[in-house]
Amino acid sequence: MVGAGPRGLATAARLLDLAADRCEVHLVDLFPGGRVWRREQDPNLLMNSRLRQATLFADESIDGVRTAAGPTFATWCAETAPHLDLPAEAAAELRSLGPDDFSSRALFGHYTHWVLDRLRDAGAVVHADEAVAIEPDADGDHTVRLASGAALRADAVVLALGHLPMASTAQQAEWARFAQAHDLVYVPPGPAAEAAMDAIGAGEPVAVLGAGLNFYDVMALCTLSRGGRFERLDGRLRYVPSGQEPVLWVGSARGVPYVARAERASANALAVMTADWVAARIRRGRLDLNTDVWPDVVRDMRHAWYQAALEQAGREVEPLELATALTRLPAEGPEVDRWCAHTFPDIAPFRLEELCDPLKGIADPAKVERRLRDVLDSHVASAYAQPRGPVTAVGERLAIAKDVVRHLVANEAFTADSVLGDLQGWFRSIGGFIAAGPPVERVEQLAALIDAGLVRVAGRRAVLTCDEEVGSFVLGSDTLAGLQVRAVIEARLPAEDLRHTTSRLVSQLLSSGTARPASLEDEAGPRTTGGLDVTRAQDPRPCRVIAADGTPWESIFALGLPVQPLEWNIANLPQPHTGARTIVQADRIARQILAVHERRSHVT
Interval 371-400 mean pLDDT: 94
SS3 73: helix
If we measure between CA atoms, which residue out of 177, 14, 35, 181 comes closest to residue 108?
A: 35
Lowest mean pLDDT among 108-117, 154-163, 259-268, 337-346: 259-268
**What pLDDT does 525 receive?**
82
Do the beta carbons of residue 216 and residue 229 sit within 8 Å?
no
- Please compute the mean of the pLDDT values over residues 375-390 and round it to a whole number: 94
* Contact in structure between 305 and 340 (CB atoms under 8 Å): no
pLDDT at 22: 87
CB 482, CB 500: distance < 8 Å: no
pLDDT at 17 exceeding the cut of 90: yes
Q: Percent of the chain scored above 90 by pLDDT? A: 91
SS (H, E, C) 93-122: HHHCCCCCCCCEHHHHHHHHHHHHHHHHHC
pLDDT at residue 265, rounded to an integer: 60
pLDDT > 90? residue 485: yes
* Mean pLDDT for the stretch of residues 324-334: 95
Q: What is the pLDDT of residue 5?
A: 98
Condensed to tens digits (0 to 9), the pLDDT of residues 532-550 reads: 999 999 999 999 999 999 9
The vertex-540 CA angle with 280 and 572, nearest 5°, equals: 70
Closest CA to 146 of 138, 546, 186, 157: 157
Q: Which segment of 237-246, 260-269, 551-560 scores lowest on mean pLDDT?
A: 260-269
CA atoms of 434 and 456, how far apart (whole Å): 21
Amino acid at 512: S
Contact 301, 350 (CB under 8 A): yes
Domains and CATH numbers, the chain: 6-165+496-500+555-603 (3.50.50.60), 170-258+449-490 (3.50.50), 275-435 (no CATH)
Q: Return the pLDDT at 266.
A: 63
Which residues have C-beta within 8 Å of that of residue 106, sequence separation ≥ 6?
37, 38, 39, 40, 41, 42, 43, 45, 90
- Asked whether residue 342 carries a pLDDT value surpassing 70, the answer given is yes
Q: Is the pLDDT of residue 453 over 80?
A: yes
Radius of gyration of the chain (CA): 25
Q: Which residues contact 581 (CB under 8 A, 6 or more apart)?
A: 406, 410, 567, 570, 574
Q: Which residue type sits at 57?
A: F
Of 583, 592, 590, 508, the residue nearest 552 (C-alpha): 592
Task: Count CA within 13 A, CB hemisphere, residue 576.
Answer: 20
Q: How confident is the model at residue 264 (pLDDT cuts 50, 70, 90)?
A: low
Stretch among 47-56, 143-152, 308-317, 369-378 having the lowest mean pLDDT: 308-317
Q: Which of the four pLDDT bands, split at 50, 70 and 90, describes residue 602? A: low
Closest CA to 95 of 70, 113, 77: 77
Q: Are strands 205-209 and 185-187 parallel, antiparallel or unpaired?
A: unpaired
Residue 569 has pLDDT above 70, yes or no: yes
Residue-wise pLDDT for 409-423, tens only, equals 999 999 999 999 999
Amino acid at 583: I
Name the average pLDDT for the chain.
Answer: 95
How far, rounded to the nearest angstrom, does the alpha carbon of residue 449 sit from its chain's CA centroid? Answer: 25
Q: What is the mean pLDDT of residues 166-182?
A: 98
| % of the chain residues with pLDDT over 70 | 99
Residue 597, pLDDT score? 84
Question: How confident is the model at residue 598, as a pLDDT?
Answer: 84
Judged against a pLDDT cut of 60, whether residue 604 lies above it is answered with no
Q: How confident is the model at residue 524 (pLDDT cuts 50, 70, 90)?
A: confident
Between CA 58 and CA 56 the distance in angstroms is: 7
- Cα-Cα-Cα-Cα torsion 407, 412, 415, 416, nearest 10 degrees, comes to 100
Q: Is 575 strand, coil or helix?
A: coil
The residue length of the chain stands at 604
Helices (H) and strands (E) in the chain — how many of each? Answer: 18, 20
Convert the pLDDT of each residue in 109-136 to its tens digit. Answer: 999 999 999 999 999 999 999 999 999 9
Rounded to an integer, what distance in angstroms lies between the CA atom of residue 255 and that of residue 241?
25
Whole-angstrom Cα distance, residue 176 to residue 171?
9
Asked whether the beta carbons of 188 and 179 are under 8 A apart, the reply is no
Contact residues for 523 (Cβ-Cβ < 8 A; gap 6+): none
27 neighbors 600 (Cβ within 8 angstroms): no
